[in-house]
């Protein structure tokens, strides 16, 4: 089924064409009509499935259907676990809404950067706010945002938000929203905690499950190298050099490990950068954009920092240290071999 049959308005179809999408992904096929009809949604879907467009497009459609007052209250609130994901979702929403008239305003707020500029940007009114829970609560406490006109709440990567200890913040934020609203929840896994959260939150949700990616894409070739711990860094350098890998995402289990490996690589002139929770937001953003642009050859990341990162056509992923769970492993290597590409 083509996008044009899903009930989206022309400006949105134009943005879809601009993005180069020709056919809706499975989650989009199910989510778009459901969200357009105002249903609550419970979706099992990970990054890489097209879930962002799955909620952003119908939300934008609904928003643009009715006008707003001069003071532009926040009508859509999207909560995400990490700064990177918040930024990425914000970019997507702006991109998909590019042809809408009047233009809708989207802002992104997250912790780790100064709060004042964010307060300034919110002052003129915002239609769609993408936020990490902790910073949003800070902004609420400083009276910089009001959430009493929110029509749609999206919890993106809800499982990871709970893993990161955001449950209390999320509950506090939900308590500030109007009782009557649309709720969309996306999660890769469904633990007991997620179930508890959904029970009070979702009203007769439409349940969507796209092929659970519990296995890696078949287009990803996986190779294991047996090696002493002491020789690991050397082996990695050797593989990068002899195979002439130009873009490699390397996972470590700790922030220190990420820093140490990054130093070693840089010492032998393999340009590397680390991203993890201790890095400033500026450092993380510039590492990521340098990596995407091909200026940084190796990005060394911890699982949390890498969550949700979307890099088109990433060819190589290295598990330098073992992930904590099979799900994390699938997540890690799922950064490559996207959309039928080889990895």
Q: How far is the CB of 223 from ligand AMP (least distance, A)?
A: 25
Q: Does 53 bind ligand AMP (CB under 6 A)?
A: yes
Per CB under 6 A, the list member of 12, 15, 41, 52 interacting with ligand AMP is 52
* Residues forming a β-bridge with 216: none
CB 52 → ligand AMP: shortest distance, Å? 3
Looking at the Cβ atoms of 220 and 235, the one nearer to ligand AMP is: 220
What is the helix (H) or strand (E) element at residue 140, kind and residue range?
A: helix 133-141
- CB of 43 vs ligand AMP, minimal distance in Å: 11
Q: Does 21 bind ligand AMP (CB under 6 A)?
A: yes
> Could you give the strand order of the β-sheet that contains 316-319, starting from the edge strand earlier in sequence?
272-275, 298-301, 248-251, 316-319
* Total residues at interface with ligand AMP (CB under 6 A): 12
Between CA 281 and CA 249 the distance in angstroms is 19
Using CB under 6 A as the binding rule, whether residue 75 contacts ligand AMP is answered as: no
51 binds ligand AMP (CB under 6 A): yes
Q: Does 48 bind ligand AMP (CB under 6 A)?
A: yes
Binding region for ligand AMP (CB under 6 A) out of 44-52, 233-241, 254-262, 266-274: 44-52
Q: Which of 304, 294, 313 is nearest to 252 (CA)?
A: 304
Alpha-carbon torsion (157, 163, 167, 173), positive or negative:
negative
Report the Cα 263 to chain-centroid distance in Å.
28
Cβ closest to ligand AMP, residue 83 vs residue 270: 83
Alpha-carbon distance of 35 to 57, in angstroms, equals 9
Consecutive H or E run containing 276: none
Assess 24 for contact with ligand AMP (CB under 6 A): yes
Q: Give kind and range of the element (H or E) at residue 181.
A: none
Helix (H) or strand (E) holding 252: none
Q: Give the shortest CB-24-to-ligand AMP separation in angstroms.
A: 5
Distance CA 95, CA 335 (A): 22
Specify the stretch interacting with ligand AMP by CB under 6 A; choose among 17-25, 103-111, 140-148, 225-233.
Answer: 17-25
Q: Specify the stretch interacting with ligand AMP by CB under 6 A; choose among 47-55, 132-140, 287-295, 317-325.
A: 47-55
Distant-in-sequence, close-in-space partners of 326: CB < 8 Å, separation ≥ 6? 214
**Span interacting with ligand AMP, options 46-54, 103-111, 121-129, 267-275, rule CB under 6 A:** 46-54
Pick from 8, 31, 34, 49: which binds ligand AMP (CB under 6 A)?
Answer: 49
Residues of this chain, 301-340, that bind ligand AMP according to CB under 6 A: 310
| Contact range with ligand AMP by CB under 6 A, out of 23-31, 61-69, 220-228, 254-262 | 23-31
Give the side-chain half-sphere CA count within 13 A for 28.
24
Q: Which residues make Cβ contacts (< 8 Å) with residue 225, sequence separation at least 6?
A: 235, 239
* Strand boundaries in 30-171, DSSP class E: 41-44, 76-79, 106-109, 128-131, 152-155
| Region binding ligand AMP by CB under 6 A among candidate stretches 50-58, 113-121, 180-188, 191-199 | 50-58
Q: What's the farthest any 2 CA atoms get from each other in the chain?
A: 65
Give the residue with the Cβ less far from ligand AMP, 50 or 343: 50
How many whole angstroms separate alpha carbon 181 and alpha carbon 101?
24
Q: Does 33 bind ligand AMP (CB under 6 A)?
A: no
50 is an interface residue for ligand AMP by CB under 6 A: yes
CB of 169 to ligand AMP, least distance (A): 23
Helix (H) or strand (E) run with residue 117 in it: helix 116-123
Residues that bind ligand AMP (CB under 6 A): 21, 24-25, 28, 47-53, 310
């Amino acid at each position: 089924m083509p996008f044009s049959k899903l009930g989206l308005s022309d400006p949105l179809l134009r943005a879809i064409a601009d993005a180069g999408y020709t056919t809706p992904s499975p989650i989009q096929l199910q989510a778009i009509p459901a969200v357009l009809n105002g249903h609550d949604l419970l979706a099992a879907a990970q990054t890489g499935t097209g879930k962002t467009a799955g909620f952003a497009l119908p939300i934008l459609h609904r928003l643009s259907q009715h006008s707003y007052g001069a003071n532009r209250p926040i009508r859509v609130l999207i909560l995400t676990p990490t700064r990177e994901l918040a930024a990425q979702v914000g970019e997507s929403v702006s991109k998909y809404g590019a042809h809408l008239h009047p233009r809708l305003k989207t802002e992104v707020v997250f912790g780790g950067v100064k709060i004042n500029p964010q307060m300034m940007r919110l002052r003129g009114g915002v239609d769609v706010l993408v936020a990490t829970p902790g910073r949003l609560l800070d902004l609420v406490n400083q009276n910089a945002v009001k959430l009493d006109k929110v029509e749609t709440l999206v919890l993106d990567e809800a499982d990871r938000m709970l893993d990161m200890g955001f449950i209390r913040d999320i509950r506090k934020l939900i308590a500030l929203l109007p009782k009557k609203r649309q709720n969309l929840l996306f999660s890769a896994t469904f633990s007991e905690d997620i179930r508890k959260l959904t029970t009070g939150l979702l009203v007769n949700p439409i349940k969507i499950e796209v092929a659970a990616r519990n296995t890696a894409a078949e287009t990803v070739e996986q190779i294991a190298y047996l090696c002493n711990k002491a020789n690991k860094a050397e082996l990695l350098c050797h593989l990068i050099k002899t195979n002439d890998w130009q873009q490699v995402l390397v996972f470590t289990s700790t922030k220190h490990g990420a820093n140490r490996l990054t130093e070693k690589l840089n010492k032998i002139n393999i340009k590397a950068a680390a991203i993890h929770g201790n890095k400033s937001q500026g450092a993380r953003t510039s590492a990521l954009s340098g990596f995407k642009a091909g200026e940084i050859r190796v990005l060394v990341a911890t699982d949390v920092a890498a969550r949700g990162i979307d890099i088109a056509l990433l060819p190589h992923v290295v598990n330098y240290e073992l992930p904590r769970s099979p799900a994390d492993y699938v997540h890690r290597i799922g950064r490559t071999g996207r959309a039928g590409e080889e990895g």
